[in-house]
Chain A
Amino acid sequence: MTELTNILPSMATVLQVIMIAVKCVIIAGIVMNLPIILVWLERKVAGHIQQRPGPMRIGPHGLLQSVADGIKLIFKEDIIPSKADKIVFIIAPVIALIPAMTVFVTIPFGDSIMIPYINQEVTLYIADFNVAILFILAVGGISVYGFMLGGWASNSKYALLGSIRAAAQMISYEVAFSFAAIGVVMMTNSLSLVDIVHAQDGWFTNWNILYLPVGPVWFCIFFVAALAELNRIPFDMSEDEGSLAAGYQVEYSGMKFSLFALAEYSAMVSISVLCVIFFFGGWNAPIPGIPIVPPVLWLIGKTFVFIYFFMVIRFTLPRYRYDQLMTIGWKVLIPLSLVMILITGLMRILL
């Protein structure tokens, strides 16, 4: 009997595992379904910027349009090009999606809350790594394999060119992106996202964006690098419809295509959340003592501001040329972030 209890995990561990599983399911459910709203929102934003209403027919103000699109994509014929590498072609969209979802493991949506009736304290994050930032960077780096392998496996020139561009762009901007994360670590003295948010507690002047004079610069570096990592306009060279048809996803259709779209939108959500956590105080209210709005809603609200900002940028800026993209990455962002690391370090030591 004692041996059995030694081998079997204790009750508390089982409860913890169940709790984590429940949280995973909830977050996965939200993140998987968020693109339905985001696609609709993106089309609405696009429409209103161009003075047209956007989707209007299905549901009130076209709300169910993306549901209809999803159903259409599910029932579409699943085409695999005849000379494609079948296994890689099928796996690639999944490889693209998994890292985009995995990032949410570390993201804290709020501090812990008490659940009434069962008197159990629950943290609003799945895991509080002490290397969470590095984890996010690592997992974000994996996601490019989906695009690369997908483009290669399609056995098409456009797709291959798109995937090569995606790889080159990802490598170039990964450096600046990581430097920006290092800047955040230097400003807050921690690699854990929960601690980063706690370092920004209190008034909005404690937020990293207002860590003058370096905060805004770090934010700009982070944001530009994030745009490039997301493959969004103005840096969407890898799916440039003008010169590459649709880049790496040109041969994809049906559900596989929508998995790529799902990955992109999940990545956009996670980057927006990271912007909020790194620079805009996470779940903190700008002024402490506004008890009516729960912290989670603050985080969600700030995140949606960023998502909206990403969308407006998409319909404002033209696409950069490829050499301009590389110039911005290597000649502007990386030297600038090195200088900023120096300044931030000096500020930490001297102030």
Chain B
Amino acid sequence: MKPHVKKLDRQCDHTDAPSILKDIFNRAIFKDIIKGLSVTLKYNVSPVITLNYPDKEKWIPTARYRGVHTLNRDEEGRELCVACELCVKACPTGCITVVPEEDDTGRGIADRVAKIWTVNLVRCMFCGYCEDACPTTAVRLGRDYELACRDMSCAVLNRDQLLQKPEIPEDFEGGTRVSARMKKMRGGIKVIPDINKKRDNWW
């Protein structure tokens, strides 16, 4: 046997007789293996820490999470957006398109409202500059992060889609996992959270 192989084989550095005997005894009763087995058996009965997404659970991010944009209304249901196009100017990727129009029927809080307000989610990098730039807090980045779909139709969201009420209310404190159910649709899969049923966080 070559010397360097021998060195690898030596697993204990003890040289005195009692510690060698102790080492042999420990190996004879499989001390290390039993130690390892006790660890794995302990973990075997400890609770599972996996987030059961998308089947039964979903992670709700905190309020400052930057997901898909929402266009908001005030308490009377009027659109907050005044089509000032500041968000367009602030946007680094140029993914927002706003075309203003005049409307004095009370649809918006001012006479000027957005005729077209689209965001191209393929280009958007969710930096949140648009909500910083918005003078009326009309555009907010919401908490929806399920963006995958089967064609490009969901890549561009228009004003009507953005104006819909978000499924998680603004004042809901996130950072938790909640029960959810998976819904299979033609366009893809949505996981609909039930925010009243909070699950324990394992940490």
Contact = CB atoms under 8 A, between A and B. Distances in A.
The reply to whether chain A is a binding partner of chain B is yes
Interface of A: 45, 47-53, 56-57, 220, 312-313, 315-317, 323-324, 327
A52 B47 CA distance: 8
Interface stretch (B31-39, B114-122, B134-142): B31-39
Contact of B43 (A49, A313, A317): A49
A36 B182 CA distance: 28
Given A48-B44, A312-B41, A53 B36 contact: no
Q: 6 closest pairs, A vs B, by CB?
A: A316-B40, A52-B50, A316-B36, A51-B49, A53-B48, A49-B40
Contacts of B146: none
B37 A48 contact: no
B37 A312 contact: yes
Given A45-B44, A323-B5, A53 B37 contact: no
Interface string B1-42: 000010001000000000000000000001001001101110
Contacts of B45: 48
B125 to A, nearest CB: 32
Nearest to B11: A324
A323 B5 CA distance: 10
Sorting the interface of chain B by its residue count into under 10, 10 to 19, 20 to 34 or 35 or more gives 10 to 19
A56 B52 contact: yes
A45 B40 CA distance: 10
B44 A317 contact: no
Given A45-B44, A48-B43, A324-B9, 12 more contacts: A48-B48, A50-B43, A51-B46, A57-B55, A312-B44, A313-B37, A315-B40, A316-B39, A316-B40, A317-B36, A323-B5, A327-B9
A201 B30 CA distance: 29
B39 A52 contact: no
Interface string B140-151: 000000000000
16 contacts: A45-B44, A48-B44, A49-B43, A50-B43, A51-B47, A51-B48, A52-B50, A56-B52, A312-B37, A312-B40, A312-B41, A316-B37, A316-B40, A317-B36, A323-B5, A323-B9
B40 A51 contact: no
B174 to A, nearest CB: 24
A221 to B, nearest CB: 12
Contact of B50 (A45, A49, A51): A51
The prevalent SS among residues of B at the interface is helix
Nearest to B41: A312
B50 A53 contact: yes
Contacts of B5: 323
Nearest to B38: A316
Contacts of A317: 33, 36
Contacts of B44: 45, 48-49, 312
Contacts of A327: 9
B41 A52 contact: no
A323 to B, nearest CB: 7
Nearest to A313: B37
Contacts of A50: 43
A50 B9 CA distance: 31
A329 to B, nearest CB: 15
Contacts of A323: 5, 9
A53 B56 CA distance: 13
Contacts of B50: 51-53
Nearest to A50: B43
B57 to A, nearest CB: 11
A313 B50 CA distance: 23
A323 B4 CA distance: 13
Nearest to A44: B44
A45 B46 CA distance: 12
Nearest to B42: A49
A312 B36 CA distance: 10
A108 B33 CA distance: 32
Interface in B126-140: none
Contacts of B37: 312-313, 316
Chain A CB within 10 Å — which of B30, B40, B47, B50 has the most?
B40
A220 B33 CA distance: 13
B46 to A, nearest CB: 6
A336 to B, nearest CB: 10
Contacts of B41: 312
A126 to B, nearest CB: 35
